[in-house]
Amino acid sequence: MKLIKTIVAAALLTLGMQTAAAQECCKKKNAVIESILTRTSIRKWQPQTVEAGKIDTLLRAGMAAPTAVNKQPWHFVAVTDKNIIKQLGGGDMFAQAPLAIVVCGNMEKALQGPGHDFWIQDVSAATENILLAAHALGLGAVWTGVWPRQERAQNVASVIGSPEYIIPLSVILIGYPAEQPAPKQKFSLENVSYNSYGNR
C-alpha cells in the first residue's frame, strides 16, 4: 500500500510540475504575442544611452532571424556616436537617437543565381527581430528604409565606410522612448483568404 501511495504521489508531483511548466510556457508565448501586437514605431527618445548588454541582445536577436539555406547574408553596424548617426539621415529623429543599427546585406554570403535576392528577405527578417527585441527590452525603435534607394544606400555606405559588397538595407534608430504612441490596429479580415484567394 505504501508503495502504491508513493507511486501515486510521485505521479501527481510530476503532473503538477508538467502543468506548471506548461503554464509558464504559455505565459512566455503570450508575452511574445503581446510584444508583437503592442510594438509601435518610436521617433522620439530620451538622451539616455543604450547599455552595451542591450545592444548585444539586439544584435543576437537580429542574427536569430530565419535565413534562406542558412546563408546568414547579413552584417550589422551598431553606431553609438551621435555625430555619425546624424550623417546617416536627416531630421530630428537622426539628431535625437542615441543608437542606430545599420542592417546590411553581405553579397559575398548571398545565394548565387535565381535565389540571389533572398538576401533582402533575410535581412528584413533580421530587422524585424531587432525591432521586436527592442520593444521587449523597454526600448523604442523605428525602421528607416535604405535599400533600394540608391542615393540613400550610397550615403549610408559612405558614412559607415562599408565596401561595395555590403549593401545597407535599413537603419534602425533606437533609444529609451520619449513618447508612447498607441499601437495601430492593422488587422483586417479583408486581407485574409482561406485555401484560395478571395475565399473567406
C-alpha cell at 198: 478571395
Q: What is the pLDDT of residue 17?
A: 47
- DSSP letters for 91-155: SHHHHH-SEEEEEEEETTTSPPGGGTTHHHHHHHHHHHHHHHHHHHTT-EEEEEE-TT-HHHHHH
User: pTM here?
Assistant: 0.84
Give tens-digit pLDDT for 132-177: 999 999 999 999 999 999 999 999 999 999 999 999 999 999 999 9
Give tens-digit pLDDT for 60-111: 999 999 999 999 999 999 999 999 999 999 889 999 999 999 999 999 999 9
pLDDT category of residue 58 using cuts at 50, 70 and 90: very high
